[in-house]
Amino acid sequence: MIVLPDTSTEVAIATTTLSSAASTITFSSIPSTYTDLRIVLTGTSSSGSPFIRFNSDTGTNYSYTVLRGDGTSASSSRESTLDKIWLSFGAGPSAGNPDFFTVDVFSYAGSTNKTCLTTSSMNHNGTDEEVARNVGLWRSTSAITTITLSRNVGNFNTGTTATLYGIL
Protein backbone atom coordinates (compact mmCIF):
# COMPACT_ATOMS: atom_id res chain seq x y z
CA MET A 1 0.00 0.00 0.00
CA ILE A 2 1.34 3.43 -0.91
CA VAL A 3 1.01 5.93 1.93
CA LEU A 4 1.13 9.52 0.76
CA PRO A 5 2.69 12.14 3.06
CA ASP A 6 0.43 14.46 5.01
CA THR A 7 -1.06 17.41 3.23
CA SER A 8 0.84 20.62 3.46
CA THR A 9 0.83 22.90 6.46
CA GLU A 10 -0.98 25.58 4.46
CA VAL A 11 -4.34 24.52 3.06
CA ALA A 12 -6.75 26.48 0.89
CA ILE A 13 -10.10 26.48 2.69
CA ALA A 14 -12.20 28.63 0.37
CA THR A 15 -11.85 31.07 -2.47
CA THR A 16 -14.02 33.65 -4.19
CA THR A 17 -13.49 35.35 -7.52
CA LEU A 18 -16.15 37.95 -8.15
CA SER A 19 -18.15 37.55 -11.33
CA SER A 20 -19.78 40.90 -10.64
CA ALA A 21 -18.89 43.82 -8.43
CA ALA A 22 -19.68 43.42 -4.77
CA SER A 23 -19.22 45.45 -1.62
CA THR A 24 -18.65 42.41 0.60
CA ILE A 25 -16.89 39.08 0.45
CA THR A 26 -17.66 36.59 3.20
CA PHE A 27 -16.03 33.40 4.39
CA SER A 28 -18.35 31.50 6.67
CA SER A 29 -18.41 28.17 8.50
CA ILE A 30 -14.66 28.35 8.93
CA PRO A 31 -13.47 25.04 10.35
CA SER A 32 -11.62 25.13 13.65
CA THR A 33 -9.05 22.56 12.61
CA TYR A 34 -6.16 24.96 11.93
CA THR A 35 -4.05 27.18 14.15
CA ASP A 36 -3.85 30.35 12.07
CA LEU A 37 -5.68 31.74 9.07
CA ARG A 38 -4.37 33.70 6.13
CA ILE A 39 -6.47 35.76 3.77
CA VAL A 40 -5.09 36.90 0.42
CA LEU A 41 -7.13 39.61 -1.33
CA THR A 42 -6.29 41.18 -4.67
CA GLY A 43 -8.16 43.11 -7.32
CA THR A 44 -9.36 46.52 -8.34
CA SER A 45 -12.03 48.57 -6.66
CA SER A 46 -14.34 51.42 -7.51
CA SER A 47 -13.78 53.61 -4.49
CA GLY A 48 -13.28 53.65 -0.75
CA SER A 49 -11.12 51.49 1.48
CA PRO A 50 -11.30 47.82 2.44
CA PHE A 51 -11.71 46.53 5.96
CA ILE A 52 -12.17 43.27 7.78
CA ARG A 53 -14.57 42.07 10.46
CA PHE A 54 -14.90 38.83 12.34
CA ASN A 55 -18.05 36.88 13.17
CA SER A 56 -20.15 39.72 11.78
CA ASP A 57 -19.25 41.80 14.81
CA THR A 58 -20.06 45.45 14.03
CA GLY A 59 -19.39 46.61 17.57
CA THR A 60 -16.49 48.88 18.48
CA ASN A 61 -14.32 45.93 19.36
CA TYR A 62 -11.46 46.52 16.95
CA SER A 63 -8.23 48.51 16.93
CA TYR A 64 -4.96 48.69 15.02
CA THR A 65 -1.46 50.15 14.87
CA VAL A 66 0.08 50.71 11.45
CA LEU A 67 3.50 51.47 9.95
CA ARG A 68 3.12 53.02 6.53
CA GLY A 69 4.99 54.52 3.62
CA ASP A 70 3.13 56.60 1.09
CA GLY A 71 5.96 57.15 -1.32
CA THR A 72 7.02 60.36 0.37
CA SER A 73 7.26 59.74 4.09
CA ALA A 74 7.15 56.94 6.62
CA SER A 75 4.56 57.30 9.34
CA SER A 76 2.64 55.45 11.97
CA SER A 77 -0.84 55.84 13.36
CA ARG A 78 -3.36 53.97 15.43
CA GLU A 79 -7.08 53.86 15.99
CA SER A 80 -8.85 52.23 18.89
CA THR A 81 -12.38 51.25 19.77
CA LEU A 82 -13.32 50.94 16.11
CA ASP A 83 -16.00 48.89 14.45
CA LYS A 84 -13.56 47.44 11.92
CA ILE A 85 -9.87 46.87 11.09
CA TRP A 86 -8.87 48.83 8.03
CA LEU A 87 -6.74 47.11 5.39
CA SER A 88 -5.61 50.36 3.78
CA PHE A 89 -4.72 53.54 5.57
CA GLY A 90 -5.05 56.50 3.28
CA ALA A 91 -4.40 55.36 -0.26
CA GLY A 92 -7.36 54.99 -2.57
CA PRO A 93 -7.98 52.55 -5.43
CA SER A 94 -6.77 53.20 -8.95
CA ALA A 95 -8.69 52.23 -12.06
CA GLY A 96 -7.05 49.31 -13.76
CA ASN A 97 -4.38 48.88 -11.12
CA PRO A 98 -5.06 46.16 -8.56
CA ASP A 99 -4.18 46.26 -4.91
CA PHE A 100 -2.98 43.36 -2.80
CA PHE A 101 -3.63 42.66 0.86
CA THR A 102 -2.81 39.82 3.22
CA VAL A 103 -4.19 39.16 6.67
CA ASP A 104 -2.66 36.60 9.06
CA VAL A 105 -4.92 35.79 12.01
CA PHE A 106 -3.23 34.01 14.87
CA SER A 107 -4.88 31.34 17.05
CA TYR A 108 -8.24 32.14 15.49
CA ALA A 109 -10.05 29.26 17.17
CA GLY A 110 -8.58 29.84 20.60
CA SER A 111 -10.00 31.59 23.62
CA THR A 112 -7.76 34.65 23.53
CA ASN A 113 -8.44 38.01 21.97
CA LYS A 114 -7.64 37.81 18.28
CA THR A 115 -4.60 39.54 16.84
CA CYS A 116 -3.79 39.78 13.15
CA LEU A 117 -0.92 41.06 11.03
CA THR A 118 -1.85 42.67 7.75
CA THR A 119 0.07 43.90 4.73
CA SER A 120 -1.09 46.49 2.26
CA SER A 121 0.46 46.76 -1.21
CA MET A 122 -1.10 49.60 -3.16
CA ASN A 123 1.13 50.90 -5.92
CA HIS A 124 -0.35 52.92 -8.75
CA ASN A 125 2.76 54.08 -10.56
CA GLY A 126 3.07 57.31 -8.70
CA THR A 127 -0.25 58.41 -7.25
CA ASP A 128 -2.31 57.67 -4.16
CA GLU A 129 -0.36 54.65 -3.04
CA GLU A 130 1.01 52.99 0.06
CA VAL A 131 2.96 50.10 1.49
CA ALA A 132 1.89 49.26 5.02
CA ARG A 133 2.39 46.76 7.80
CA ASN A 134 -0.31 46.68 10.41
CA VAL A 135 -1.26 44.86 13.60
CA GLY A 136 -4.96 44.61 14.36
CA LEU A 137 -6.93 43.43 17.37
CA TRP A 138 -10.43 42.07 17.70
CA ARG A 139 -11.36 42.08 21.37
CA SER A 140 -13.26 38.85 21.49
CA THR A 141 -12.41 35.48 22.93
CA SER A 142 -14.80 33.71 20.56
CA ALA A 143 -13.46 31.41 17.91
CA ILE A 144 -13.58 32.98 14.48
CA THR A 145 -16.13 31.26 12.28
CA THR A 146 -16.87 34.06 9.80
CA ILE A 147 -14.67 36.64 8.11
CA THR A 148 -16.10 39.54 6.15
CA LEU A 149 -14.12 41.73 3.79
CA SER A 150 -15.93 44.94 2.95
CA ARG A 151 -15.47 48.49 1.71
CA ASN A 152 -16.68 51.66 3.39
CA VAL A 153 -17.89 52.90 0.00
CA GLY A 154 -17.87 51.40 -3.45
CA ASN A 155 -17.25 47.86 -4.52
CA PHE A 156 -14.64 45.24 -5.08
CA ASN A 157 -14.68 44.99 -8.88
CA THR A 158 -15.34 41.94 -11.02
CA GLY A 159 -12.33 39.67 -10.96
CA THR A 160 -11.35 40.46 -7.37
CA THR A 161 -10.08 37.31 -5.71
CA ALA A 162 -10.13 36.51 -2.02
CA THR A 163 -8.77 33.23 -0.71
CA LEU A 164 -8.82 31.86 2.83
CA TYR A 165 -6.02 29.52 3.89
CA GLY A 166 -5.66 27.49 7.06
CA ILE A 167 -2.23 27.02 8.60
CA LEU A 168 -1.73 24.04 10.87
Partner 1 sequence: MAVTKLSNSGIKTGVLKYDSMLAGNAPFDPAATWLIQRVNGTGSSGVITFSNIPQTYQHLQIRFIAKNSTTTSVADHLYLQANGLTTSTYYSHFMYGSGTAAFAGNFMTQPQVTIRDAIYRSNATYPNMFGVGIIDIHDYTNTSKLKTVRAFTGRDGNGDGVVTLSSGVYPATSAITSLTLSSATGNFTTTTSFALYGFKG
Partner 2 sequence: MANTYVLIASNTLSSSAASVTFSSIPSTYTDLVLRYSIRTDFAGLNIAQARVTFNGTTSGYSRTILNGDGAAASSGRATSQANFEPEEGSPSASNTANTFGTTEIYIPNYLVSANKAYGSFAVGENNTTTPVYLSARAALWQNTSAITSITLTANTGNFVSGCAFFLYGIKKN
Binding site for partner 1 (CB under 8 A): 4-10, 35-36, 63-68, 74-78, 80-81, 104, 106-107, 110-113, 115-117, 133-137, 139, 141, 167-168
**73-105 burial string, b = 16+ CB within 10 Å, else e?**
eeeeeeeeebebbbbbbbbbbbeeebbebbbbb
Minimum distance between the CB of residue 130 and partner 1, rounded to whole angstroms?
13
Residues in contact with partner 2 by CB under 8 A are 7-12, 15, 40, 42-44, 67-74, 96-100, 102, 119-126, 129-133, 159, 161, 163, 165
Neighbours of 31 (CB within 10 A): 11
Q: Which residues lie closer than 8 Å to 25 by C-beta, 6 or more apart?
A: 16, 18, 41, 148, 149, 150, 156, 160, 162
Minimum distance between the CB of residue 85 and partner 1, rounded to whole angstroms?
9
Tell me how far apart the alpha carbons of residues 139 and 160 are, in angstroms, rounded to a whole number: 29
Closer residue to partner 1 in complex, CB, 19/73: 73
Closer residue to partner 1 in complex, CB, 46/107: 107
Minimum distance between the CB of residue 145 and partner 1, rounded to whole angstroms?
19
Select from 32, 39, 78 the least CA-distant residue to 161: 39
Closer residue to partner 2 in complex, CB, 19/73: 73
Closer residue to partner 1 in complex, CB, 43/166: 166
Minimum distance between the CB of residue 153 and partner 2, rounded to whole angstroms?
21
